[in-house]
Structure 1
């Protein structure tokens, strides 16, 4: 009999690919949605790459409430907790981000340990294993924990750190059959299954459409969504992954490099991509006087810190693809799905 894997937040970008690859791998999959009305959208998205008939089921459960989680994990062998309840939160309010992320993870773990689930793989973020200072250069690994008390941290980084820390603390105090593994991705790009949940790939869409007329001096550790799912599945099944953190970042790539990759690789479809880099001072001035939303990115200007994926490569045999391939596949997928307006 095939193992049953629960994937949280089935309508999400990463979750959709997790569901698809699990089905391709012969697993039976159950996924959570916040309401019944989201089921068909998940089926439609997954159906673009694999037939889910008879092997995909649903449970209604919300990370912000206790109801439904025991039913969601009943009869489940493993859990991929990839969902995050941050979509509607005000990113400027620390509590609006921290409480849902932390409490949602604990709801999943409580239900999983009660049900005796074999392993939970939780998606954290590389931002939870980063030096507090964005100015720090060098390479860090999973042994580093971001300091959540650093007053310079943006709320998102603090929320991801505290949520993962709470998960490990919970497991330390709940010995039993259930094992925890965490995966800490970088900036996730790659092909889409649906235009309904674009996530971070919207950045590429803005570049292609010409909406981003200037590029800030920001570097991203780009990981392909397909490679991120691959490392989740490896972490789910490898005996050596139990109780471990795994960074899953990709090549460090400046956004201006991304722009050049798109402009050079897309032909006529890349004609609107701007490669003009905006000076740091201009971004800071705009954040202060014209666009407060830019305040979230100003600490990252010029940051060169990178993360080592040696552990995932050594323990799990993980091999991510080049960033340029991911960026172009992402762009072509957006164009194919009609997610970019060309004039």
Structure 2
């Protein structure tokens, strides 16, 4: 057991539950926030499924990103904050501000509470969405130096992640004092489902392909990363002396189209093959490139392969 306490926001989320699991396994005390304490059983059940049977180091706090209530209590006595909570809708809202305002104001609310409580560093979960959507990807390798243009005509989720991350960096620069910020920018997050807690990426791409709901491969590709590696990079970035003030793309090597994913599943998990639709390959000119070089060299992060992440998702799902 360490004597350090870590706050993980959004414990009922896919990244949140895996992050809590790894922190408990490493002996940390963990505070986690929920919009309603009635949801805490979903966290306990998922952790039990993962082999945790002692919950004395885990505390729950009711706090919502849209309200100041509960945050002062949640950060009291905390050494580090991992702010992983953020809405990811199954479909775009009618008003983009339904996503943008909670994401931006929630990040600022967490940063202000952390600073007031004397927290050393906040690790914010942003997204590749804040990096890769404002320039022609042809012949361009996306790095942490790239930014999505929040003033462009982009989908609300992408805009919300960009606006929230920019607001967080501005706060640190102008009002942050001694508080440090590190940002993680994951691509599509896959890997094993715990206690039924999943991700939008997994629900759309994996379940949709396995069950034949997705019948064609759009002209885009996605980066893939395992949720266990996303949790691990948060833990490393939390204490690494060179991580303060930096952002890190979290992705496995390479990218995939939905066609690639479908072919992987048919080959490696043939018991699902009869439901998977036959798709046409995505043209090569739509394959974007991004790099995890910074995360590997600065943090020593070694992610699983994209194939391993996707197959771990499949293996954690019940057969219909």
The alignment's TM-score, normalised by the length of structure 1, stands at 0.87
Q: 2:43 corresponds to which residue?
A: 42
Deviation at 1:25, TM superposition (A): 1.0
Cα distance in 1 between the residues matched to 2:275 and 2:141: 34
Deviation at 1:270, TM superposition (A): 2.9
Deviations 1:90-149 (CA, angstroms, capped at 9, x unpaired): 434221111110000001001000001011000001111125145544212111211111
Unpaired runs of 5+ residues, structure 2, are: none
Query: Structure 1 residues 90 and 264 mapped into 2: Cα distance closer, same or farther (>3 Å)?
Result: closer
Cα distance in 1 between the residues matched to 2:307 and 2:30: 32
Q: 1:165 corresponds to which residue?
A: 166
- From 254, 265, 268, the counterpart of 2:271: 268
Q: 1:187 corresponds to which residue?
A: 188
Q: 1:291 corresponds to which residue?
A: none
1:214 aligns with 2:197: no
Deviation at 1:2, TM superposition (A): 2.3
Q: 2:247 corresponds to which residue?
A: 245
Residue aligned with 1:176, SS: coil
Cα distance in 1 between the residues matched to 2:282 and 2:246: 40
Query: Structure 1 residues 88 and 109 mapped into 2: Cα distance closer, same or farther (>3 Å)?
Result: farther
Q: 1:69 corresponds to which residue?
A: 71
* 1:105-254 aligned within 5 A: 105-133=107-135, 136-151=138-153, 153-202=154-203, 203-250=205-252, 251-254=254-257
Cα distance in 2 between the residues matched to 1:82 and 1:175: 19
Runs of at least 4 residues off by over 3 Å: 85-92, 133-137
Unpaired runs of 5+ residues, structure 1, are: 281-300
Deviation at 1:87, TM superposition (A): 4.3
Q: Once structures 1 and 2 are overlaid, which stretch shifts more, 219-228 or 249-258?
A: 249-258
Q: 2:98 corresponds to which residue?
A: 96
Deviation at 1:216, TM superposition (A): 2.2
Deviations 1:179-231 (CA, angstroms, capped at 9, x unpaired): 10000000101101022444321121121122223332331100011111111
Residue aligned with 2:209, SS: helix
Deviation at 1:83, TM superposition (A): 0.3
- RMSD, aligned CA: 2.0
Q: 1:255 corresponds to which residue?
A: 258
